[in-house]
Chains A and B, each alone.
Chain A
Amino acid sequence: MTRNRNMKIASVAAFLAIVFIAVPAAISGSGRFDLYYTLTSVALLSIASAGVWLTFYIGRINIGQGAYALMGGYVSAILVMNYGWSFWLTLPVAGLFCAAASVLIGLPILRLRGVYFAMVTLVLTEVARLLALALPITNGAKGIVSIPLPGALSVFGLTIIPDFATLQNSRLAFYLLAVTLMVVCFGVMYRLVNSRIGKLCQSLQQNEELASSIGVNIASLRIIAYAVSSFFGGVAGAIFAAISQSIYPSSFTVTDSVNFMLNCFLGGLGYVFGPMLGTLVLYFGWDLLFQTGQFQLLIYSGLMIVLMLVLPNGLLSLAASIRKKA
């Protein structure tokens, strides 16, 4: 028991040391500063994917996370540009806005199951894109551009985060921001899944009728899980808008929604950290295949199919089975 606990603490410490110390050190040593952007993307995409994973955990195939990422991006951009809000305030507000929207959207659609829920969420991403094109406040196809970098964040006159525009290396700053949020996000997810809430979610996934008859309020638990999921999507989208200093209707599309889902499949639906690993592997895998040119998509899709046939429970099931043998 304590040994297990020590192992966990050691793994977490090692992980933190890698992402906060080793990776920045390696990047500045090698001069490959572009990797900051890549890894920041991975961290943010894994936050959005974590949300999708949570909806899987209550037994729903969610192909609509792109809609909330887009929504979060626009909410933050509009509040910064039109109302002069600080980015740091828009970040939680974007998340909460998406969570609130997902409650309204979820109330009717979370009754659906299986392929029906999946189809509706898929359409949701497209609806979000069309809305962004049509609404006056989102500025149509031209999108919102020249968003200023995040300003300083100070509490009681104490500057906690410096103004990104004054930094020499804003790429490092965004990397640290994204990774910090990723760590918090997965910490929350880990806690959710390993507390009774996780068991309640599993009970929904495995048998909603029975869950209901043992007194689980399935409707409200579904909504809560979906709201948390969408919160993550919105936060990720808001940071993306801040990094690229722009947001367009096509910033998040159906393809992104599908990728969020694939990240979860690849990493493993039974493992909290599945979406993180899945996002990392898919993101770099796709880039590595770039050299194969016109065959990129074909090889990529083929590999995905093979992987899912060979490892239906995701990459992390490999580690679990090795640990079991040892």
Chain B
Amino acid sequence: MAEMLEVSGITKRFGGLVAVNNISFSVREKEILSVIGPNGAGKSTLFKLISSFLKPTTGEVRLKGERISGMAPHIAARKGVVRTFQETTIFKNMSVRDNVVIAHHLRSKAGLLGFFLGTGAAKADEVAFGASADEILALLGLSSLANETARNLPHGHLRALGIAIGLATDPSILLLDEPFAGMNHDETMRMVAMVRRLRDLGLTILLVEHDMPAVMKISDRIVVLNFGQKIAEGTPSEIQANEKVIEAYLGSEDEAIGL
């Protein structure tokens, strides 16, 4: 299978602290790859490095062979690496539909001046974005909430909206930061089903997650971090059997790894 994203020898230092230490792995096209690890392992930092919100100290990230690390985040997004946020980040005071429409910005053919003047291209964009937004909302079960102000949405729907925003940008790879955080069992299972559906539609997904049972269920492959280093990589069953992983999660191992 072709490689979508390639992380090679990436390191990030914050002063004396090495938050991410010489990590390499790759994400294949149309797979769900999860990065797990105890608190402080460096997952969020790795995430920010991949989405270009942080510049690596050394090493690089390539998307379909093209180097993207060290670019501005909006450029990385344009190249196709899009992240949704851990803190369920959305445009709070816009309607749900507007959130998704505006997220199509990357695809717009008209420029700012075109929008100001209301040119044909701008109007065509407007129609196309609206139609695509409605499709995405339907896919994520948000159609009935389209006109609701985003800040009024319940937790689970907010998370779905965050993903809808990511999808609207038509990414090559979607990065999800803890998509299951704060969800109860049912919500988690629904989200797992949804993420798989996205993958079946042809999306490549990289997610960072705490919730072990969900990770075991959803992932094609898993990368495990501890203290900034990669300690294991493999399929869910390989990871469950890995000595080092069990050690890293020592204390609550059985339950935490979902055995």
Contacts and interface: CB of A to CB of B under 8 A. Distances in A.
A207 B90 contact: yes
A195 B118 contact: yes
Interface string B213-238: 00000000000000000000000000
Given A202-B94, A213-B53, 9 more contacts: A191-B116, A196-B122, A202-B102, A206-B93, A210-B85, A214-B105, A214-B165, A215-B78, A215-B105
A196 B93 contact: no
Contacts of B169: 214-215
B91 to A, nearest CB: 4
B172 to A, nearest CB: 13
Interface of A: 191-192, 195-197, 199-200, 202-203, 206-207, 209-210, 212-218, 224
A200 B105 contact: yes
A199 B85 contact: no
B77 A212 contact: yes
B102 A203 contact: yes
Interface in B99-139: 101-103, 105-106, 108, 112, 115-116, 118, 122, 125-126
A109 B151 CA distance: 30
B98 interface: yes
Contacts of A196: 102, 105, 108, 115, 122, 125-126
B168 interface: yes
Contact of B93 (A202, A213, A215, A216): A202
A218 B74 CA distance: 8
6 contacts: A196-B125, A203-B102, A209-B85, A210-B85, A213-B73, A216-B74
A168 to B, nearest CB: 40
B122 A214 contact: no
Given A207-B89, A215-B77, A215-B105, A192 B116 contact: yes
Interface string B70-96: 001110011000111100011111100
Contacts of B74: 212-213, 215-218
Contacts of B90: 207, 210
A195 B78 contact: no
A207 B92 CA distance: 8
A209 B92 CA distance: 13
Nearest to A192: B116
B51 interface: yes
8 closest Cβ pairs, A-B complex: A215-B106, A215-B77, A196-B115, A206-B91, A195-B115, A214-B103, A212-B73, A210-B89
Nearest to A196: B115
Contacts of B94: 199, 202-203, 206
A210 B105 CA distance: 12
Nearest to B113: A197
A76 to B, nearest CB: 26
A197 B78 CA distance: 18
Contacts of B89: 207, 209-210
A195 B113 CA distance: 10
Contacts of B93: 202, 206
A228 to B, nearest CB: 11
A214 B168 contact: yes
Interface in B154-194: 165, 168-169
B99 to A, nearest CB: 9
Contacts of A199: 94, 98, 101-102
